[in-house]
Amino acid sequence: MKNVLVITASIFGQDGQSSQLVEHTLQQLKQTHGEIRTTHRDLAQEPVPHLDASRFGAFLTGQDDRSDNQQRVVNYSDSLINELNQADVVVMGVPMYNFGIPSVLKAYFDHIARAGVTFRYTENGPVGLLEDRPVYILAARGGIYAGTPNDSQTPYLRSFLGFLGLKDLHFVYAEGLNMGDDQKKTALNQASRAIETLTA
């Protein structure tokens, strides 16, 4: 049985287009792999705290020197990382807000990027410590950005996830969703077909 970590970040919850593409991906994975076990982290519903000096300080403090509050911060981060480590597949819904990823997703990333835990620095540069696995990224956008300089999401996600060791990335784009009903319908149909091909 495949363990699937589902990460969504739409402010519209399950009604968001990225969340609906995530659901379609899960249905296709079930058809391919049979029964799957899912862990769902809805970052809009239960946001990860944004990184501040106090939380970052907790990550830098040695275990024997941490206060109780610092240990709670580290335990929370560890729980997010353990959740990721246990997943065979990651499915991520990523809407575009103001040319970037949702701030709640950035906060999540800030809590799973831990020196010595998910990456380490070497004399040859940084090395990701997470075991690679398929990551499906369902990107929903109001305009058309893929392949243009205004697509800040794709290179950032490739860089960040690759930094941690996750390089088997599969992007599906649903674009122009605010550019009329015909464009929206076409984009969603194309995205659905792409999902079916990728997960077959």
Show the DSSP H helices in the chain as ranges: 17-33, 53-60, 68-85, 103-112, 153-164, 181-199
Q: Is 179 annotated as a binding residue?
A: no
Whole-number Å distance between alpha carbons of 81 and 142:
31
Residue 103 annotated as part of some ligand binding site: no
For residue 43, give the nearest of 79, 77, 11, 85 by alpha carbon.
11
99 is in an annotated binding site: yes
Is 121 annotated as belonging to a binding site? no
Q: Name the token pair of 129.
A: 């410590």
d(CA 52, CA 40): 25
CA dist., res. 25 & res. 127, Å (int): 30
Known binding-site residue numbers for FMN: 10, 96-99
Annotated binding-site members: 10, 96-99
